[in-house]
Structure 1
Amino acid sequence: APRSKIVDPLYSVPMPVLAGGHFVAKVLAEASVGVEGAWLLAPGSNVTLTLASTATEGSYLLLNFSVPADTASGLYDLYVRCGGELLTSPRSVWVLGEWPSELVFLHFTDIHIDIKVDGRSSSRYEAAVTLLNNLPVMFAVITGDDVDVGSDVPALRLFREITNRARKPTFIIPGNHDHAQTDEASFRERYYGVYIGPATWYRVIGRFLLVGLDTGLEGFLDSAQLRWLEGVLSEHRDKVKVLLMHHPFFNYATFGRVRGSWREVEKIRNVYSSWRDHIDSAKELLRLIEEYNVTLVLAGHVHGDAVVLYNDRTWFVTTTTTCAGIRPGDYRGFRIVRLSDRGEVLQLGVPGKNPLAGFSSFNIDLLKVAYVSDPQLKACTVKVSVAPGFELAIENLTVYYYVNGSVPASEYELYGDVDRVLGREVLSYGALHLVRAVVKVKPGEGFKVTAACYRDEAPPEVSIMMYTPRRPVSGKDSVMVYIRAVDEGYGIESVKLVYETPAGAREVRAEHVRGSTYQAMIPPLRAKEVRLKAVATDFAGNVGESSELTVSYVVPEVRVPKLTVSVKCEREVEVGREFKLTVRVSNEGNGTARSVVAELSAPEGIEPRSASQRWPSLEAGKSVAHEFKLKATKEGAYEIKVIVRAANHKAVEEVVKVTAKRPAGVEAYLPYLIVVAVAVVIVAVIAARRRRA
């Protein structure tokens, strides 16, 4: 037989009820099982319920409980003793003194536990829960992608754990990531349905109707869910209606007023692709929204804002992701929504920002919160920082610590920045104590306060588990180092990796992976060996260090070209006569030169003034040569420059000096001719005289 359990209400779908009113709890149990008792539990409060009536629905008991009229407003755990078993549903009954005339709530979406974005996956969700506990709002809605992978049980447990630290109601629906790696049965019976709750639901809060929908993996509503939705809407025609769904009806960053009709849904622009791909579903959803006068449709999925006022009646509001990845220039965030019982939307985000004109969500990146407990819940630390520019003025922050109730409350003390603590109280909460502290916040500064029944004076234990690759290549490989850090006291605050080379020591932050495992990345280094040491600091300020480890790098032979150039040319040339200049390029290195080019440049008076010769490559030990044909156009002394360069080699330059002269003419030999002529005349005269004699 299936194990007895409370299936409604749950922390993801709490039941609103007035003090003095009634609510029905749905319990999986045999019809013959009797109910021995039921009560509500909140910090410092225990309220006995009266069982007014019992009914059955298949395998379920429907228990109609009466809430005492003097019950204080607040969020309660439900306890039912049934057939000898004690059944519990935490944070599932929301008692109000009267129905509200206005809803004020937070919209979170796309939490994506256990995704890694700038460190711990849960850090921004812890900030979100802290905001819910502190802002003047009534509850929060979360529109899906609660975990990053739907079958990740540790992530589902962590989501449940963090959510249940909230002291106000949370209404939650699934997104496509919550369906990831599940089928219909396992989603309901092993994963989301077990750790979070039902995929679809509705709640009536006085004049308001809140409906949770499931757009599934593909981003639309099937016909069965649409029929169910129409039944809910038709049954509550007089309510101000709010729909929650994961996939938005309109595209990312769509803002402004839109007019249209469900009859011509194809003509409406900027409809999100999953709805356009299932146009019949989109048409039917829009018909229900129009005919039943839905005021507000809240969605997420696209990790960015979009707000459309449809036909001046229905607000389609998409909120940026609270915790996961974003586009450049965007930010992670949340909304504050105010809605009157007349259907007036009074606020959709940061006051003063027009939601129809652009992003209007609050920026949650400006608030950092970490919550860490020891394994026995005998110490709990909250670390908070508020950056300048945060749009909400928070001067005093209420922080809740859930600690072990087996230790007397008087033994718990606060440690850390206790000078910031303005007040505290310890309330009994079942097997726990709830320590409630009010801490003064200074924008731009943080605080760290621990509630514990002991003082932590022992340093963390830290060791380097492994690194990869085992033989990194110098100058090429990054090295991932895995670190184990354990603290039996207040918990690990930070882990870093210190690595030392001959050039000096550097450090890099280690990111939390899961459990006691951290990882740090060393960038590519030109080194033969690197010495590593991991350092962990706990929330008490104690520091632990690992033993030193040496990583040996493979230093590859560096193969580089070495180019030399020689130029051969006549030193004297004739004007107007072609001469040759031979360039020889040699590679005396051990690597191939790529894309080698020899460029010749000459001054005016030498033609051509420039020329070049290219070779695709030049292997080590090889030479190439090229003859450039040149001509001097006038006399003079010239310097001809040759530059050889390659894609992987710096330029090599050689200069040759050339003198250009004109060729010799008759006038050059005239003096010699005159001398010869005179000599000839003299010889002739002497010869003539001899003959006469």
Structure 2
Amino acid sequence: MLISRQNNYLLMTMRKNIYGKIALMLIISVLMVSNLTILECLSGKINYYAEIFKYPLPSIPEPVLDGSEFYVKVKMPSSTIWINAIVYNEIQVVNASLIEASYNNKTGIWYLKFDLPSGLREGAYNLNITYKPSENESTKILNQPRCLWILPQWPEKLVILACGDVKPEGIPYWKEMVYEANLINPDLIIFLGDLVNVPNVASEWIKFLEPFKLILDPIYVTAGNHEYSGLGVANIYKRIMGPVNYTVTIGKFLLICLDTDRDGWIRMERLKWAENILKRNIDKTKIMFFHFPLFNVKLKEKGTAYFKISSIEDFNNLVKQNAISETWEPYLDEAKELFRLIIEYDVRLILSEHIHTDFNVIVENINTGKKHYFISPAALAYDIPDHDIRGFKLITIYANGTIIESTLYYPGTGMFNYPNSIPIDSGTTTYYRPVLPYKIGFLEYYYAPANDGKHYAVSLKINNELKVSFNNPRIIFKLPADIPIERYEWKPFKPEYEVITVNGIHYVILRNINIPSQSQLTFTVYAVEDKDKPKVNLVDVPSLVDKGSWIQFKVEAIDNGWGIRDIEVKYTVNDKEWKNPDLMDFIEAENGKVIYKVWIKAPNIDTKLKIKAKAVDFSDKTSDEVTKEIIVGKPPKAKYNLKITSSPIEGISFKVNGTKFETPTTITLEEGTYVIEFEGKVKVNDEEYEFIKWSDGTTNPKKIIKLNKNVELTVYYEQISKPQQPTLPPEEVKPQVPWTIIVGIVIAIAIVIIVIYKIKGK
């Protein structure tokens, strides 16, 4: 019986209240009892790394100097005959000679010592041990993956990637963490517990181990409370991962893993064991890690957690300030003893998890000036606090004990300004609901078309959206070795690299590379020209979405030449302004195909949204553009043209649904019913005209039409004739007197007047 999705939801919901916590414990107990035989039934699917091998393990690799000796502990019969060992990874392989083999009759464990040849690069290696079960039997091989950490010399500093708390619901974040870590290339990873939810459920281990097997760096694991089926009972964890308490020496550094059991505190006998280890390593820089934190996460609410002490007795003041975690409060003697060990033996870095959120505490000893850093990274779990993120820490610590404080928090935050882990996702709002648009992974990279040693051209794209720079990332190109490496060319420039040629493949390992914060980095190494043109496609684009909703779809591009470099997606709601999507989240790249998830916020209006996409490959070839349309809200009505002309005159005013226009005109209108009104009589240029008819023969100047296609109409008018003036009869023509006669008469009259005037004067 496996845990159903409903049960998972119930478990997470119950964590919200105290009664839920009680019920949660009861449910888990029932599930554990009901699943006792499940793991055995499915045991063939699980790697029990620690069942035969006791050390080293994939969860506790042994640091070994190149060319020195290493030790192995295995539980095998006393009749076993040991022959030799092979140390290898994908790039290098050497034979290690057996120096010594001794058997403990009480424990049934063999102690083996091997001589490691020199010449191996730094990194994690697998181990095969050849043996014979007895003198008369054939040889067999014991295999243990990623259990040796080969170093050219002991490090002066360590870059530690700290993360934890996965459980089945957090597998997507665990996969992303492994993917990013394999590029970041930390010195080591410390995983802080809660690998599974219920330890007796086989499927949960299978889900966790799938990404675990892909890790390329040394990783050290501690058990969380979810690895226990009862108090002090972590049998399945011990068979798969190994011991719950252990120490590892890395030159000047000492790692101490302690166990907080199922109920969240460290037993006194384990603290005494730890003190014996600390006494023997006074000169080491000490790093301690366990699952349950010592300090109370509620200190986050105070805005700071910086404590100055002058003696161990100041621990009592911390108790009075409610600074100690709830799981430790009933066991203050053990809590104080742990605190004493940390202060007296100068444990500089203390890592823990469990609380599913990032949390920093600094304790400064004012007598010595030394600081002790209690650090919890953000979890990789599904069930995180409201308005929080999933993430990890990338901590730098030097062999003299100095910790670079700026590596304890994400740039732009602060030591006590949360969330302050390096984010691995966009985070949550409330009740685990994601922030939208949602994104997993801000450090994206891929090789194209494939980095499998079969392609004569391989490209790499890294997109770092984080505010963190990464030095010396793991970048390895795999190229066919039938062409000399000197014949391969580089774009945009030739980097510094080393080449190891194995099994027909050039492994080209880039050196001294830096990935700046919020930047992109690309390389192409090639021995053939690019002839392929990229192709792009929009996938799962919805045809209809609600107003104001998030539109989600995928864009895929493929190129089997040099590979896809960029995919550009734009959208518009007005066919004029093209905008970038709200988010493009890289999904995967495989066999020349690159896939992104696209998020676009739909506008709050009824409209159409048009999307276009194109792809560009690493040789700058561009794909054909593809487009799609999305209806937002109610589907918009179709629009048609209404063209109206008039004859024999133009400039006639008319109305369409009350809006005035003038002929000739073309109006674009939505599909629907419209009323067109012309006047029966109009006057144009002082001439009067009378409506006669429409071009369809109707004679009413008011017309109702259903516009469901483009329509052309003409209105016909006729000039109104002016009334004629009445014709008058011709007047009688009178005879005209010649002007010469008139002049003569006037002159004669004038002479008569003059004569009369003279006579009177006499």
TM-score range, shorter chain: 0.5 to 0.7
Match of 2:161 in 1: 108
Match of 1:92 in 2: 147
Looking at structure 2, the residues matched to 484 and 365 of structure 1 have their Cα atoms a distance apart, in angstroms, of 26
Looking at structure 2, the residues matched to 146 and 453 of structure 1 have their Cα atoms a distance apart, in angstroms, of 47
Residue of structure 2 aligned with 1:290, choices 307, 328, 340: 340
Closer, same or farther in 2 for the Cα pair 1:126/1:93, shift >3 Å? closer
Please list, as runs of the form range in 1=range in 2, the aligned pairs for 1:484-495 lying within 5 A after superposition.
484-485=556-557, 493-495=565-567
Looking at structure 2, the residues matched to 272 and 429 of structure 1 have their Cα atoms a distance apart, in angstroms, of 56
Match of 2:427 in 1: none
Give unpaired runs (5+ residues) of structure 2: 1-42, 133-138, 199-203, 425-441, 638-762
Match of 1:37 in 2: 84
Match of 2:523 in 1: 449
In the TM superposition, residue 419 of structure 1 has moved relative to its aligned partner by: 1.9
- Contact 1:244–1:299 (CA<8 Å) still a contact in 2? yes
- Contact 2:550–2:602 (CA<8 Å) still a contact in 1? yes
In the TM superposition, residue 287 of structure 1 has moved relative to its aligned partner by: 0.8
Looking at structure 2, the residues matched to 370 and 431 of structure 1 have their Cα atoms a distance apart, in angstroms, of 25
In the TM superposition, residue 64 of structure 1 has moved relative to its aligned partner by: 0.9
In the TM superposition, residue 15 of structure 1 has moved relative to its aligned partner by: 1.0
In the TM superposition, residue 238 of structure 1 has moved relative to its aligned partner by: 1.9
Closer, same or farther in 2 for the Cα pair 1:270/1:37, shift >3 Å? farther
In structure 2, the residue corresponding to 1:425 is in which secondary structure? strand
In structure 1, the residue corresponding to 2:273 is in which secondary structure? helix
In the TM superposition, residue 8 of structure 1 has moved relative to its aligned partner by: 2.9
- Contact 1:485–1:517 (CA<8 Å) still a contact in 2? yes
In structure 2, the residue corresponding to 1:276 is in which secondary structure? coil
Looking at structure 1, the residues matched to 529 and 235 of structure 2 have their Cα atoms a distance apart, in angstroms, of 43
- Identical counterparts, % of pairs: 15
Counterpart check, 1:551 vs 2:636 = no
Closer, same or farther in 2 for the Cα pair 1:336/1:532, shift >3 Å? same
Match of 1:268 in 2: 319
- Contact 2:70–2:116 (CA<8 Å) still a contact in 1? no
Match of 1:612 in 2: none
Q: Deviations over 1:16-53 (max 9, x none)?
A: 34567643324466665544430323655624231510
Please list, as runs of the form range in 1=range in 2, the aligned pairs for 1:524-543 lying within 5 A after superposition.
524-525=602-603, 526-537=605-616, 543=622
Closer, same or farther in 2 for the Cα pair 1:386/1:492, shift >3 Å? closer
Please list, as runs of the form range in 1=range in 2, the aligned pairs for 1:301-450 lying within 5 A after superposition.
301=353, 302-309=357-364, 315-318=372-375, 334-340=394-400, 345-350=401-406, 358=415, 370-372=445-447, 374=450, 376-378=452-454, 381-383=459-461, 397=472, 399-401=474-476, 403=478, 407-408=481-482, 410=484, 417-421=491-495, 423-428=496-501, 433-438=506-511, 446-450=520-524
In the TM superposition, residue 152 of structure 1 has moved relative to its aligned partner by: 8.5
Give unpaired runs (5+ residues) of structure 1: 133-138, 559-693
Match of 1:14 in 2: 61
In the TM superposition, residue 390 of structure 1 has moved relative to its aligned partner by: 6.6
Q: For the aligned residues, what is the CA RMSD? A: 5.4
Closer, same or farther in 2 for the Cα pair 1:217/1:553, shift >3 Å? farther
Counterpart check, 1:248 vs 2:293 = yes
In the TM superposition, residue 294 of structure 1 has moved relative to its aligned partner by: 3.7
Residue of structure 2 aligned with 1:67, choices 112, 115, 126: 115
More strand by percentage = 1
Match of 1:202 in 2: 247
| TM norm structure 2 | 0.54
Looking at structure 2, the residues matched to 276 and 401 of structure 1 have their Cα atoms a distance apart, in angstroms, of 47
Match of 1:46 in 2: 94
In the TM superposition, residue 318 of structure 1 has moved relative to its aligned partner by: 1.5
- Contact 1:387–1:443 (CA<8 Å) still a contact in 2? no
Closer, same or farther in 2 for the Cα pair 1:183/1:109, shift >3 Å? same
Match of 1:237 in 2: 279
Q: Deviations over 1:507-527 (max 9, x none)?
A: 324313467754222212234
Please list, as runs of the form range in 1=range in 2, the aligned pairs for 1:511-526 lying within 5 A after superposition.
511-513=585-587, 518-525=596-603, 526=605
More displaced 10-residue stretch of structure 1: 293-302 or 537-546 = 537-546
In the TM superposition, residue 254 of structure 1 has moved relative to its aligned partner by: 1.4
- Contact 1:305–1:319 (CA<8 Å) still a contact in 2? yes
- Contact 1:369–1:382 (CA<8 Å) still a contact in 2? no
Looking at structure 2, the residues matched to 156 and 48 of structure 1 have their Cα atoms a distance apart, in angstroms, of 28
In the TM superposition, residue 153 of structure 1 has moved relative to its aligned partner by: 5.7
Counterpart check, 1:80 vs 2:137 = no
Query: Counterpart of 2:265 in structure 1: which amino acid?
Result: L
Closer, same or farther in 2 for the Cα pair 1:440/1:527, shift >3 Å? same
Looking at structure 1, the residues matched to 182 and 622 of structure 2 have their Cα atoms a distance apart, in angstroms, of 25
- Contact 1:44–1:428 (CA<8 Å) still a contact in 2? no
In the TM superposition, residue 125 of structure 1 has moved relative to its aligned partner by: 3.4
Q: Deviations over 1:521-547 (max 9, x none)?
A: 221223443333444555565555685
- Contact 1:322–1:334 (CA<8 Å) still a contact in 2? no
- Contact 1:414–1:451 (CA<8 Å) still a contact in 2? yes
Looking at structure 2, the residues matched to 359 and 249 of structure 1 have their Cα atoms a distance apart, in angstroms, of 17
Match of 2:540 in 1: 466
Looking at structure 1, the residues matched to 192 and 621 of structure 2 have their Cα atoms a distance apart, in angstroms, of 39
Looking at structure 2, the residues matched to 154 and 488 of structure 1 have their Cα atoms a distance apart, in angstroms, of 32
Q: Deviations over 1:564-620 (max 9, x none)?
A: xxxxxxxxxxxxxxxxxxxxxxxxxxxxxxxxxxxxxxxxxxxxxxxxxxxxxxxxx
- Contact 1:13–1:92 (CA<8 Å) still a contact in 2? yes
- Contact 1:495–1:536 (CA<8 Å) still a contact in 2? yes
More displaced 10-residue stretch of structure 1: 45-54 or 120-129 = 120-129
Match of 1:477 in 2: 549
In structure 1, the residue corresponding to 2:57 is in which secondary structure? coil
In structure 2, the residue corresponding to 1:346 is in which secondary structure? coil
Looking at structure 1, the residues matched to 221 and 530 of structure 2 have their Cα atoms a distance apart, in angstroms, of 38
Looking at structure 2, the residues matched to 428 and 231 of structure 1 have their Cα atoms a distance apart, in angstroms, of 47
- Contact 2:490–2:526 (CA<8 Å) still a contact in 1? no
In structure 1, the residue corresponding to 2:280 is in which secondary structure? coil
Looking at structure 2, the residues matched to 323 and 147 of structure 1 have their Cα atoms a distance apart, in angstroms, of 10
Query: Counterpart of 2:279 in structure 1: which amino acid?
Result: R
Looking at structure 2, the residues matched to 452 and 25 of structure 1 have their Cα atoms a distance apart, in angstroms, of 43
Query: Counterpart of 2:475 in structure 1: which amino acid?
Result: Y
In the TM superposition, residue 126 of structure 1 has moved relative to its aligned partner by: 4.8
Query: Counterpart of 1:221 in structure 2: which amino acid?
Result: W
In structure 1, the residue corresponding to 2:184 is in which secondary structure? helix
- Contact 1:383–1:446 (CA<8 Å) still a contact in 2? yes
Closer, same or farther in 2 for the Cα pair 1:492/1:290, shift >3 Å? farther
Looking at structure 2, the residues matched to 388 and 160 of structure 1 have their Cα atoms a distance apart, in angstroms, of 26
In the TM superposition, residue 284 of structure 1 has moved relative to its aligned partner by: 1.2
Please list, as runs of the form range in 1=range in 2, the aligned pairs for 1:186-197 lying within 5 A after superposition.
none
Q: Deviations over 1:107-140 (max 9, x none)?
A: 32237887889x97667535632xx3xxxxxx43
Query: Counterpart of 1:238 in structure 2: which amino acid?
Result: R
